């Protein structure tokens, strides 16, 4: 089980933590990201995507879901504006889960309908402008 608590004092430290987590990820992993607006959830997601060779992950706030197909299919969801319902999960999200996938969800809602090999909860709290307290718990 992975359980990490870390104070990150820069974006570089945050990226290093995301890379560290990424090295443990297996195909078909689900990552829930929570924290205040502006805490760095999207930056953490972008860092994980970079680990897997994707440099252009952007926030999916407006479309709720973005797909980045490749060696590992990265799916990024942002539910800040709207909670997912069963139709969204069944007809929009599940069809994107092409093996091997990595699903990252900001503003998480536990999606019990999605079977994953491994899942994590990442919580990012703002301490001040540059400092974040990040906890990572394997579920």
Q: Per residue in 6-56, pLDDT tens?
A: 999 999 999 999 999 999 999 999 999 999 998 999 999 999 999 998 877
Rounded-to-integer distance, Cα 57 and Cα 3, Å: 26
- pLDDT (mean) for 78-88: 75
- pLDDT (mean) for 62-69: 74
On whether the CB atoms of residues 107 and 84 are closer than 8 A, the answer is no
Rounded-to-integer distance, Cα 8 and Cα 4, Å: 12
Cβ burial of 112 (10 Å; 0-12, 13-18, 19+) is exposed
**Quick one: which of 13, 25, 2, 1 has its CA closest to 133?**
13
> Which domains does the chain show, CATH number per domain?
3-138 (3.40.50.300)
Rounded-to-integer distance, Cα 21 and Cα 7, Å: 15
**Quick one: which of 35, 121, 116 has its CA closest to 80?**
35
Give pLDDT, residue 69.
80
């Amino acid at each position: 089980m992975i359980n990490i608590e870390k104070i990150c004092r820069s974006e570089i430290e945050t990226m290093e933590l995301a890379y560290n987590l990424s090295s443990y990820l297996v195909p078909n992993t689900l990552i829930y990201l929570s924290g205040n607006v502006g805490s760095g959830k999207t930056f953490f997601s972008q860092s994980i995507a970079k680990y897997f060779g994707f440099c252009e992950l952007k926030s999916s706030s407006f479309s709720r879901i973005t797909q980045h197909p490749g060696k590992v299919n990265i799916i990024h969801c942002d539910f800040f504006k709207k909670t997912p319902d069963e139709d969204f999960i069944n007809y929009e999200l599940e069809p994107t889960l092409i093996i091997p996938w990595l699903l990252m969800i900001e503003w998480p809602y536990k999606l019990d309908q999605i079977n994953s090999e491994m899942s994590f909860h990442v919580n990012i709290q703002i301490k001040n402008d540059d400092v974040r307290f990040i906890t990572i718990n394997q579920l």
